[in-house]
Structure 1
Amino acid sequence: MSETTVKKAPVWFWVVAVLALLWNLLGLLAFGGTIMILNSADVMAALPPEQQAIYADYPGWALAAFAVAVFGGLLGSIFLLMKSGLARILFIISLVALLVSDYYTFAVARMQEVSGSGTFIMPALVLLITLFLIWLSGKAARDFK
């Protein structure tokens, strides 16, 4: 028989949880930038023609997936600070939406052909951080009071 001991959350947890919130606020800024591009002819005109074509054809389902990924991550971070089990669910929803959004970016829009192979770096980092936050949120809900 295994007993799980619930203990006070260590300082490192609070540091990581606050960093997760800040990270997801940056995601909100990235989403806002995409909205600005899609809704401003002047901003769109400042992009290279290849990127203009990608944004001109940006489908609603991809934008919705991006929104769910960002807001799911942001809400997940807030619930992580509360050590709520809901954080893990929100991070998993965010992960699924992230994968849908990345499918559009790389398989449909083929952004890497326009922006180069460096295009993969940020999405890979976002994916790794999201997976880590799924693990951490499960640990927090289970192990910390």
Structure 2
Amino acid sequence: MTTTSTTKPTKAFWIIGSIALLWNLMGVIAYYSQINMTNEALSLLSEPEQLYYKNVESWATAAYATAVFGGFLGCVTLLLKRKITFTLFILSLIGVLVQATYNLFIQEFMEVTAFQMGWTTLIIVISIFLVWYSKIAINKGWLYK
């Protein structure tokens, strides 16, 4: 008879997981808002923003989807204590990096502002943290299924 040795996650685990889930849920909402933007909503944006949304590359949109849904599912599986969490956060990080590369260095419609650079950096840092944290959770035996 073999048994799986597991350790009970700390309260911090549940807090971090819950906050991360809310963060990634906001990302999913932002993604859906972007892909379902009406012509009326688009007309309220500046001309550079309109050009960006009308011309964003499909691979950049796919990277965005990978980033937000990978992160969201990673958080769900984190709270369900599943080892696949690490893989999902890696996929999300790859999506974040690809999308950031497009937004900051490739697209030619909108000027990159200090705010946009800071926001993108924050998203990358959080994505890296979630990859690191999920690996720690696996090593501590909190993720085992």
* Common fold: TM-score over 0.5: yes
Alpha-carbon distance change, 111 to 91 in structure 1, aligned in 2, over 3 angstroms: farther
Q: Once the 2 structures are TM-superposed, how far is the Cα of residue 116 of structure 1 from its aligned partner?
A: 2.1
Which residue in the other structure is 1:102 paired with?
A: 100
1:70-109 equivalence runs, <5 A: 70-109=68-107
Question: Aligned Cα RMSD in Å?
Answer: 1.7
Question: Which 5+ residue runs of structure 2 have no aligned equivalent?
Answer: none
- Deviations 1:9-46, CA, capped at 9 Å, x for gaps: 11111111111111110111111121133xx1111101
- Deviations 1:85-113, CA, capped at 9 Å, x for gaps: 21011000111111111111111115661
Which residue in the other structure is 2:135 paired with?
A: 138
Q: Does 1:54 align with 2:68?
A: no
Which residue in the other structure is 1:123 paired with?
A: 120
Which residue in the other structure is 2:15 paired with?
A: 15
Paired residues of 2:49 and 2:110 also in contact (CA < 8 A): no
Paired residues of 1:6 and 1:142 also in contact (CA < 8 A): no
Question: Which 5+ residue runs of structure 1 have no aligned equivalent?
Answer: none
Scaled by the length of structure 2, the TM-score of the pair is: 0.88
State percent identity of aligned pairs.
33
Number of matched pairs = 138
Which structure is higher in helix share? Answer: 1
Alpha-carbon distance change, 135 to 142 in structure 1, aligned in 2, over 3 angstroms: same
Runs of 4+ in 1 over 6 A off after TM superposition: none
Name the SS for the 1:144 alignment partner. Answer: coil
Scaled by the length of structure 1, the TM-score of the pair is: 0.88
